Amino acid sequence: MEVRIYIMIKLQNVERSYKTGAGQTWVLRRIDLSIREGEFITIMGPSGAGKSSLLNVLALLDDQWAGEYWFGEQPVHEMKRKERAELAKRKIGMVFQSYHLLDDLTVQENIDLPLSYKDIPRGQRQGMVAETLDHFQIVAKKDLYPNQLSGGQQQLVGIARAVIHKPALLLADEPTGNLHSSQAKEIMELFTKLNREGTTIVQVTHSEVNASYGSRTIQMKDGWLAGDTGNPALAQPGSAAGAGVAPGGLQSGEAVGS
Ligand code: ADP
C-alpha cells in the first residue's frame, strides 16, 4: 500500500541578517528544512541561536529574509506582503510565551477576535466561539477578563484564539515559559490532542519534558540547524559531518541544548 507523505513547508537556503553598525549580524544561516503534515516538531538550542527568528519566518511575521519558502505548492518567497498576510490568516495560528491577550476584552471576546477580521456571519461566529470554549473547557470563564485568570488559563485562551479558525499549522514560542510544571503539562497535553486531530505543530522550548511530547526535535546553534532527529543526514554536533553542516559554528564535543 502506498503511503503518501505531504510536505507542508519546505525552506531552502533561508537566511536572515540584521545590519548592525558598519557590519551585519547573521541570525539564520542556510536553513534547509522540510515539515511534513501532521508532525509535532520541537526547536531547541541556546539563547540567541535563532529559534524565535526561525519561528517568525515560518509564521510569516518576518519578511526580511532571503531564500525559498514553500507552503505546500505556494512559493511564499514570491508573494507580496498582502498575499503572505492572507496565507497566515488562513493557515497559521501563533501562541506566545506572554499570551498576548487583550486586557480589556473578555475571554469570549479575545477568542472571537481572529474571526472578527473575517467575513463570517455573526451567528456562525458565535457558534464557533461556543464550540471552542467548550472544547477547551473554559465555558465558565467566558465573561472574565485576562487578569482574572491564572497564567495557565490565560495560555489556554491564547491557544483557543490561535486555533479557532482551524489553522493547518500551529506555531508556539516558549508557550509554557511562564507556567508551573502542572500547567505546562496541561498545555502539552492539549498540543498532543490538537496534533492528533490533525494540526501540525512547531514549538520552541527549553524544556526537555515539553520536547518529549513532540515527534521530532531540531537543534539550532548560532543560526545554523545543528541537529535534527527527523533527518539523520544532519549529524549531531561533534561529528565530522556536523562540522560540515555548520562550518565554523560548532566546536568538537560542544553540547547543544537548552
Ligand atoms: P533565540 O530565540 O534562539 O533566543 P533569536 O532568534 O531571538 O534567538 O535571536 C537570534 C539572534 O538574532 C540573537 O543574536 C539576537 O540578538 C539577534 N537579533 C534578534 N533581533 C534582532 C534585531 N532586531 N536586531 C539585531 N539583532 C537581532
Residue 76 phi, psi dihedral angles, 5° rounding: -60, -35
50 CA closest ligand 1 atom index: 6
Q: What's the 65 CA to ligand 1 centre distance in angstroms? A: 13
Q: Where are the domains of the chain?
A: 39-63+86-245
Write down the pLDDT at residue 232. Answer: 77
Give the closest residue to 129 by CA, choosing from 181, 141, 45. Answer: 141
Q: How far, in whole angstroms, is CA 252 from its chain's centroid?
A: 30
Write down the pLDDT at residue 3. Answer: 67
Q: What's the 19 CA to ligand 1 centre distance in angstroms? A: 12
Please give the average pLDDT of every successive group of 10 residues along the chain, which has 258 residues.
82 96 93 97 97 97 96 97 94 95 97 86 93 93 97 95 95 95 94 96 97 97 96 60 38 35
Write down the pLDDT at residue 117. Answer: 76
The reply to whether ligand 1 has any atom less than 6 angstroms from the CB of 219 is no
Write down the pLDDT at residue 96. Answer: 94
Nearest CA to ligand 1 atom 16: 48
Topology of the domain covering 39-63+86-245:
Rossmann fold (3.40.50)
Give the closest residue to 258 by CA, choosing from 214, 200, 231, 218. Answer: 218
∠ CA 118-124-125, rounded to 5°: 50
- CA distances for 61 relative to 86, 121, 164, 221, angstroms: 12, 27, 19, 22
Q: What's the 220 CA to ligand 1 centre distance in angstroms? A: 13
Q: What's the 256 CA to ligand 1 centre distance in angstroms? A: 17
The reply to whether ligand 1 has any atom less than 6 angstroms from the CB of 48 is yes
Write down the pLDDT at residue 236. Answer: 55
The pTM for the full model equals 0.88
Write down the pLDDT at residue 1. Answer: 63
46 CA closest ligand 1 atom index: 3
Q: What's the 223 CA to ligand 1 centre distance in angstroms? A: 9
Which three cell numbers mark 23? Answer: 557590519
Find the distance separating the first CA and the last CA of the chain, reported in whole Å.
Answer: 40
Distance CA 149, CA 145 (A): 7
